[in-house]
A and B are shown apart, each in its own frame.
Chain A
Amino acid sequence: MSARAMSCREARDVVLEALTGAVAPDVRLRLNRHLEACARCRLEAGIYEDVAGALRSSPEPRLPPGHWEEFMARLDRALQADRRRPAARISRWLRVPRHAWSVAVATAALIAALVFSLPEAPSPPPAAQPSGPVGLPVLHPYVTESIIRAQPAMGTSLAVWKAGFGATDTPFDPPGGE
């Protein structure tokens, strides 16, 4: 099966990538086929190839003798100075999994000890019960006599509601009812 032909636009898109380094083999194959057939793209590719070649011909910078020995010694000094920072020492100590787990367990134990050793706060004295109408559960101090007179069954309804609708031992006997 032959690969799809590459257009000039696609070729311009990948030519630089292909000339300066690795590209997928199928892309390179399609590009090469396109360049064989297209003189204009071939000229452009030739120019970029020369530019890339000129760049590669630039010499690798030379290092002074003994550079890496000096580099490692300097780095070692810098890292030792860095290690002396308190934050770095703690971080390095915590890097050991056993230490990290010990700290986690100790922290959890400390929190638990604090929680259990705290004295229980004294409970506030019970608030004085507001006195409601006799024979009625006290719902709110603002339930006045006039409200109860207007809603005579309210007291019984509230008793049923408080006991739960499933309760069978709370008589429902609304005043004036059957």
Chain B
Amino acid sequence: MDDAEDQALIEAFKRGEESAFTALVIKYREPVYRIARRIVRSHEDAADVAQEVFIRAHRALPRFAGRSRLRTWLFRIAVNLCLDLAARRSRDVLSGLRELRWAPSPHDNPVELSERRELGEAVGGAIDALPPRQRAMVVLRVYQDLPYAEIARIMGCAEGTVKATMFAAFGKLRRALAPYVRGEAAG
């Protein structure tokens, strides 16, 4: 259903209908931005990445052969741009973390709020400490709910590599979040 809709929009764009491209942007801008935001950490960088994703898509879409899903293709552009950016910038590891901190709601219980804020900070720190490729895979799996096969296509690697990388990443997350994990705290 989703793929058929995407295909129809791509065909319309190839016929010269710019509004079809706008419809695709509206459909995918949010997940593209959220993936970028989790990987590159700052709002400005994530917004720049998302812009660049759609500029590149606009240029390349006429040649898009449909061998992969449009979503996979866009996420792949996004992840590659994020990894390039992460490689260029090793600056201020904590800058984005601060932006991802828990934003309180006026209805939150103060004790609960404090606990959630603490957990949120611990999680943010643990994700940020992962190498960029591991972070990208964790983001695609945990926050976008993508199957391993699709993550493999996005990351340009084998499904087995995704499995192994996820294990390595979760091993690190498990150690970093040990105080918040029941089995680990007890053991």
Residues of A within 8 A of B (CB): 13, 16-17, 20-22, 43-44, 46-48, 50-52, 54-64, 67-68, 71-72, 74-75, 78-79, 82, 88, 91-92, 95-97
Contact = CB atoms under 8 A, between A and B. Distances in A.
B116 A51 contact: no
Grouping DSSP codes into helix (H, G, I), strand (E, B) and loop, the B interface class, with mixed when no group exceeds half, is helix
B181 A71 contact: no
Contacts, number: 113
A63 B43 CA distance: 8
Nearest to A59: B102
A92 B16 contact: yes
Contacts of A71: 29, 33, 47, 50-51
B69 interface: no
B53 to A, nearest CB: 10
Looking at B62, B99, B183, the one whose CB has the most chain A CB atoms below 10 A away is B183
B127 interface: yes
- Chain B interface bracket (under 10, 10 to 19, 20 to 34, 35 or more): 35 or more
Interface stretch (B1-9, B70-78, B83-91, B166-174): B166-174
Contact of A95 (B62, B122, B170): B62
A109 to B, nearest CB: 25
Contacts of B100: 58-59, 61
Contacts of A13: 163
Nearest to B61: A95
A79 B142 CA distance: 32
Contacts of A88: 59
Contacts of A97: 15
Given A20-B166, A64-B43, 14 more contacts: A17-B148, A17-B163, A20-B142, A21-B142, A48-B170, A51-B170, A54-B180, A55-B173, A58-B123, A71-B47, A75-B54, A82-B59, A95-B15, A95-B16
A55 B120 CA distance: 8
Contacts of B141: 20-21
A51 B100 CA distance: 18
